Chains A and B, each alone.
Chain A
Amino acid sequence: MENHLRDSEKGSVQKMTSEQVNNEKSAVLVLGCPQVPVQTGIALYLISALRKKGVRTVIAGNRAARTLVEVSDPERHYVGEVMDIDRYIGEIAEKKRAFDYHFIFIHNDAGVSYAATVQAITGKTVVALIYGEHFQEMAGMITFPCEKIAAKAVHNPMPLKNKLDEVLPWVVSNL
């Protein structure tokens, strides 16, 4: 984990057992398979927007999704801690970590499965960012408590970015 951290963050993470240390809000962005181009751009945009609202962010994803984010931000201006998606599920299931917000990136049914899993484990309302060619079908598969932010965004991130701009202030204030 620490290989993915800036030096300034290493010490603070070692001391944490919960994400709610010092009342700082935290969010985890759960990235899916990066086969839809908008995912990495929207992830970096969301990190920036959350940071402006005082929310610390963690990225969880498989190796390809994590590497894309890290290569896109080599100086780590936006990206903080990055972790493997299975480790993230394990740590929230075993109550080793807790986050205030769970943003799940969804463009296929695996994404829906991860969102359902996070919701069932945490009991919290998760935020689903739904995009890609089949975004309506994916949104229709979600029957558990969830805030849906959905747009047909494949190569052009603007439809999803605009939806995010509309909803994010409410999400951060109310969830």
Chain B
Amino acid sequence: MGCLESLKYEIILRDTSFSECREYIRSACKEYVDVDPGFKIFDKHIIGIPPISIGFDGDVITFPFTKPCYGTFLMRVEDHDEAERIRKSAPSKKK
């Protein structure tokens, strides 16, 4: 997810697990969708243990991000177009 570095992002959780990310997103975000690993977000394929939850608060997207040497982070990025694209292309809306 190299292009993530060019975005204005906020790290919510560091060195976390996928179940913690999922629980956070499902409880803290106004809406969320579940996607499979490989789903594209910010033009990269998302890595993780399914189901992977992606949360939304308006145009703010909350999602897990894994790097081999640094583990898993929970990130937040504001992007209207990407939020709309994910809402439309995700298999089903959960909340």
Contact = CB atoms under 8 A, between A and B. Distances in A.
Interface of A: 32-33, 35, 61-62, 64-65, 85-86, 89-90, 92-93, 108-114, 116-117, 120-121, 141, 144
A120 B36 contact: yes
A110 B38 contact: no
Given A89-B47, A120-B38, A113 B72 contact: yes
Contacts of A112: 49
Interface in B55-95: 66-72
Contacts of A116: 37, 48-50
A113 B47 contact: yes
Contacts of A32: 68
Contacts, number: 67
Q: Chain B interface mostly helix, strand, loop or mixed?
A: loop
B2 A86 contact: yes
A110 B71 contact: yes
Contacts of B66: 110, 113-114
B: contact size bracket: 20 to 34
A85 B47 CA distance: 11
Q: Chain A interface mostly helix, strand, loop or mixed?
A: helix
Given A113-B48, A117-B48, A64 B38 contact: no
Interface in B1-54: 1-2, 17-18, 36-38, 44-50
Contact of B47 (A62, A65, A92, A117): A117
Contacts of A121: 36-38
B56 to A, nearest CB: 22
Contacts of B45: 86, 89-90, 93, 117
B37 A120 contact: yes
B64 to A, nearest CB: 8
Given A33-B68, A90-B44, 9 more contacts: A33-B69, A85-B68, A108-B71, A109-B17, A109-B71, A110-B71, A112-B49, A113-B48, A120-B37
